[in-house]
């Protein structure tokens, strides 16, 4: 079985993906496939993690970018290439261009994380910061291409990009020939489309499941409408899949070959990222953790063996800190309390001492003694605690109430 887009001059078929695999030999890594005992226990079948977060530049994007730029004619290479991205595609284009001796200019939003901007420059691209949102950045890159003749390298809507990303699917079949389900995050759809073309042609029995963040889920309404539709103001921490409209070519392939598209919440993304870090010892960005979030949200809904594609690991350290705190809160590992105390010397110390007995770690304390809401002899304390899980949270709150404190658990 091959997939051909009707009327499209550049069909995407298995031979294209195999050709891309040969082209990428010695350029892209054959990334590791790691088993997850924890996820396997939840799913009730073997679960493997395809670690594209360990790919060069920290994501799968190098694959498609290198294949696309390799296919340029000499005069196109001479004109240089231009791209727009908040991170992963930028770095993929920058490194691919450097390896091929092509000049690259990458437009990034003005608020792009500094580590991603620095990495893109270090890979050899000229970086220009334009626009507050990615749509403005894309417009600036397209205007530059029109003005200079540079070739615009789209992040997902081109057959060469899809063929390059599809090499992930070929590696999965080689590394886990018994696979029954592949779970992959979807933004514009290039990675899912490429994997689906590669896998479904060889193994039509393998189920391919796409995953989107709830706040940027353009594929479900698009599939329902039978055409790409836009989601207004997509919002999610998973910037790698924060795409407001499916690409035309990926959409046609996804609609034909991907079996199902699911959505996950921000809490589920945070919990998945935390699990990857704690259990698998892997640094994964929120978009890369989306397949794991889908497994956590419905562990018995996937036939195994399952391969979850960790598409990238490029996450800003400051964002990682916030996400981990959010993930720990979602997992019941943080507890926020407000307590009323008698305002007398030693009262705060006594209350904090009782937390030591309860084995709760105090992260932050706010002590208020003058407030119209408080009685003359009252004080209020807000606490941020690190706990061992939901049951421990309940134990801590109950013990403080039993000790005579008025306790309010905050969300």
Active-site annotation, residues: 61, 311
Beta bridge partners of 54: none
Dump the DSSP string for 84-138. Answer: E-SSHHHHHHHHHHHHHT--EEEEE-TT--HHHHHHHHHTTPEEEE--SSHHHHH
> Rounded distance, CA 162 to CA 148, Å?
26
Got the DSSP string for 178-220?
Answer: T--EEEEE-SSSHHHHHHHHHHHHH-TTSEEEEEEEGGG--HH
Q: If you ran DSSP here, which 8-state letter would residue 345 be given?
A: T
- CA-to-CA distance for 155 and 61, rounded, in angstroms? 8
Q: 94: which residues sit within 8 A by CB, 6+ positions away? A: 57, 104, 106, 120, 121, 123, 124, 125
Distance CA 338, CA 342 (A): 14
Backbone φ and ψ of 204, nearest 5°:
-60, -15
How far is Cα 377 from Cα 349, in angstroms, rounded to an integer?
17
The two structure tokens encoding residue 102? 């092509």
**Cα 194 to Cα 190: distance, rounded to the nearest angstrom:** 6
Can you name the residues that pair with 48 across neighbouring β-strands? 35, 307
How far apart CA 75 and CA 149 sit, in angstroms, is 10
Q: Rounded distance, CA 303 to CA 181, Å? A: 6
- In three-state secondary structure terms, 339 is strand
With contact defined as beta carbons under 8 Å apart, do 182 and 208 qualify? yes
């Amino acid at each position: 079985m091959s997939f051909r887009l009707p009327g499209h001059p550049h069909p995407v078929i298995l031979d294209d993906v195999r050709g891309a695999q040969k082209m990428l030999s010695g350029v892209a890594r054959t990334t590791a496939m790691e088993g997850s005992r924890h996820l396997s226990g939840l799913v009730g079948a073997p679960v493997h993690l395809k670690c594209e977060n360990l790919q060069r530049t920290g994501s799968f994007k190098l694959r498609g970018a290198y294949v696309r730029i390799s296919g340029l004619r000499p005069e196109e290479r001479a004109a240089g290439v231009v791209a727009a991205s908040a991170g992963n595609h930028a770095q993929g284009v920058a490194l691919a261009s450097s390896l091929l001796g092509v000049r690259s200019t990458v437009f990034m939003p003005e608020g792009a994380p500094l580590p991603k901007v620095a990495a893109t420059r270090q890979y050899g691209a000229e970086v220009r910061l334009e626009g507050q949102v990615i749509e403005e950045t894309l417009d600036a890159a397209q205007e530059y291409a029109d003005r200079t003749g540079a070739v615009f390298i789209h992040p997902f809507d081109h057959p060469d990009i899809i063929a390059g990303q599809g090499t992930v699917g070929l590696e999965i079949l080689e590394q886990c020939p018994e696979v029954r389900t592949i779970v992959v995050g979807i933004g514009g759809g290039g990675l899912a489309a490429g994997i689906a073309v590669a896998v479904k042609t060889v193994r039509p029995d393998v189920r391919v499941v796409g995953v989107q963040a709830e706040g940027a889920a353009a594929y479900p309404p698009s599939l329902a409408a039978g055409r790409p539709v836009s989601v207004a103001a997509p919002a999610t921490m998973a910037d790698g899949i924060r795409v407001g409209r499916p690409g035309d070519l990926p959409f046609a392939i996804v609609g034909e070959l991907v079996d199902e598209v699911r959505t996950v919440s921000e809490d589920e993304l945070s919990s998945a990222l935390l699990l990857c870090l704690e259990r698998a010892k892997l640094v994964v960005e929120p978009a890369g953790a989306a397949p794991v979030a889908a497994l956590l949200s419905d562990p018995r809904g996937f036939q195994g063996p399952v391969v979850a594609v960790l598409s990238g690991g490029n996450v800003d350290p400051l964002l990682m800190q916030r996400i981990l705190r959010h993930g720990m809160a979602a997992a019941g590992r943080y507890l926020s309390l407000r307590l009323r105390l008698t305002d007398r010397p030693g009262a705060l110390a006594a209350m904090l001492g009782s937390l030591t007995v309860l084995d709760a770690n105090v992260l932050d304390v706010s002590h208020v003694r003058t407030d119209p809401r408080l009685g003359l002899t009252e004080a209020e304390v807000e606490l941020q605690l690190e706990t061992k899980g939901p049951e421990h949270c309940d134990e801590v709150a109950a013990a403080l109430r039993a000790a005579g404190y008025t306790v309010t658990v905050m969300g």
